[in-house]
Structure 1
Amino acid sequence: MNQTLFEQLNKWHEEDEHQKIVDLLIAIPDEELDYDAISRLARAYNNLGLYEEGLSQFDKISEAGKQDPLWHYRVGFALYYLKRYEESVEAFRKSDQLEPDNQSTEYFLSHSIQKAEKQKREELRLAKKKASLEHSSSVTEKALFSDIFLADFWEDSEYAKEDYQSEPPTDELINSIEQELGYKLPSSYIQLMKHQNGGVPKNTNFPTQEPTSWAEDHIAITGIMGIGREKSYSLCGDGGSQFMIEEWGYPDIGVVICDCPSAGHDVIMLDYRACGKDGEPEVIHVDQEDDYEITFLADNFEEFIKGLVNEEQYDTSEEDKKEALDKVAHGKFSPLLERLCSRVTEVEQVEQKIRSICTRIVEEKGHFSFHADELSYVMYDVQFWLYTKSYPNTSREQYLAVYQNIIAFGGEFGQRGYAPSFITDWLDARIREERIVQDDGVIRFTSSYAEEVIIKLKEA
Structure 2
Amino acid sequence: MKQELIEQLNEWHEADKHQQIVDLLSTITDEERDYESISLLGRAYNNLGHYEEALSQFDKISEAGKQDSIWHYRVGYALYYLKRYEEAAQIFSRSAQLEPDVQSTEYFLRQSIHKAEKQKIEEIRLAKKKTSMERGGSVKEKVLFSDMFLADFWEDSEYARESYQSELPTDELIDSIEKELGYKLPSSYIHLMKHQNGGVPKNTNFPTSEPTSWAEDHIAITGIMGIGREKRYSLCGDLGSSFMIEEWGYPDIGVVICDCPSAGHDIVMLDYRACGKDGEPEVIHVDQEDDYEITFLAENFEEFIKGLVSEEQYDTSEEDKEEDLDKVAHGKFSPLLEELCCRVTEVDQVEQKIRSICTRIVEEKGHFSFHADELSYVMYDVQFWLYTKSYPGTSREQYAASYQNIIAFGGEFSQGGYAPSFITDWLDHRIKEGRIVQNHGIIRFTDSYEEEVMNRLKEA
TM-score normalized with structure 1 length? 0.75
> Residue 303 of structure 1 corresponds to which residue in structure 2?
303
Report whether the alignment pairs 1:39 with 2:39.
Answer: yes
Inter-CA distance 180–60: structure 2 relative to 1 (3 Å threshold)? same
Amino acid at match of 1:134: E
CA contact (8 A) 1:265 1:288 kept: yes
Letter in 1 for 2:125: R
Residue 286 of structure 1: how far off its partner (Å): 0.8
Instruction: Identify the residue that residue 419 of structure 2 maps to in structure 1.
Output: 416
Distance 1:353 1:229 in 2: 53
Summarize deviations over 1:405-429 as a string: whole Å, max 9, x none: 9x9xx9768863999xxx9xxx9xx
Amino acid at match of 1:221: I
| Aligned-pair CA distance for 1:118 | 1.1
Match of 1:132 in 2: 132
Q: Which residue of 2 aligns with 1:81?
A: 81
1:3 aligns with 2:3: yes
The whole-number CA distance in structure 1 between the counterparts of 2:165 and 2:334 is: 41
Aligned to 2:170: 170
Could you list the per-position Cα deviations for residues 181-240 of structure 1 after superposition, in whole angstroms to 9, with x for gaps in the alignment?
111111111111111111111111111122211122111111111111111111111011
Residue 360 of structure 1 and its aligned partner are, at CA, apart by 4.8
What secondary structure is seen at the aligned counterpart in 1 of 2:364?
A: helix
- The reply on whether 1:205 has 2:205 as its aligned counterpart is yes
**How far apart are residue 359 of structure 1 and its match?**
6.4
1:13 aligns with 2:19: no
311-320 or 258-267: which moved more?
311-320
**Contact 2:361/2:376 (CA < 8 Å) preserved in 1?**
no
Aligned residue pairs total: 395
For 2:259, the equivalent position in structure 1 comes to: 259
What are the within-5 Å matches in structure 2 for residues 125-164 of structure 1? 125-136=125-136, 139-164=139-164
Q: Give unpaired runs (5+ residues) of structure 1.
A: 334-351, 384-403, 428-434, 436-450
C-alpha displacement of 1:35: 1.3
Alpha-carbon distance in structure 1 between the residues aligned to 2:265 and 2:115:
19
Change (3 A) 1:161 1:200: same
Contact 2:370-2:376 within 8 A present in 1 as well: no
- TM normalised by structure 2 equals 0.75
CA contact (8 A) 1:262 1:418 kept: no
State the alpha-carbon separation in 2 of the partners of residues 359 and 111 from structure 1: 30
Q: In the alignment, what sits opposite 2:313?
A: 313
Matches within 5 A, 1:236-385: 236-318=236-318, 320-321=320-321, 360=360, 362-367=362-367, 368=369, 376=373
User: In structure 2, what is the Cα distance between the partners aligned to 1:50 and 1:31?
Assistant: 23
Instruction: Give the 3 Å change call, closer, same or farther, for CA 122–138 of structure 1 in structure 2.
Output: closer
Residue matched to 1:115:
115
Secondary structure in 2 aligned to 1:232?
coil
What's the C-alpha RMSD, in Å, of the aligned pairs?
A: 3.9
- Alpha-carbon contact 1:271-1:281 (below 8 Å) kept: yes
Say whether 1:196 aligns with 2:199: no
Identify if the C-alpha distance between structure 1 residues 358 and 197 changes in structure 2 by more than 3 Å, giving closer, same or farther: farther
Measured in 2, the distance between the counterparts of 1:161 and 1:311 equals 21
What one-letter code is carried by the residue in structure 1 that aligns with 2:208? Answer: T
How far off is 1:138 after superposition?
A: 8.3
Report percent identity of matched pairs: 75
Aligned equivalents of 1:232 and 1:305: distance in 2? 22
Bigger RCO (CA 8 Å, 6+ sep) = 2
- Partner residue of 2:441? none
Question: 5+ residue gaps in structure 2?
Answer: 337-351, 381-399, 410-414, 434-448
User: Deviation of residue 378 (structure 1)?
Assistant: 9.1
**Helix, strand or coil: the match of 1:32?**
coil
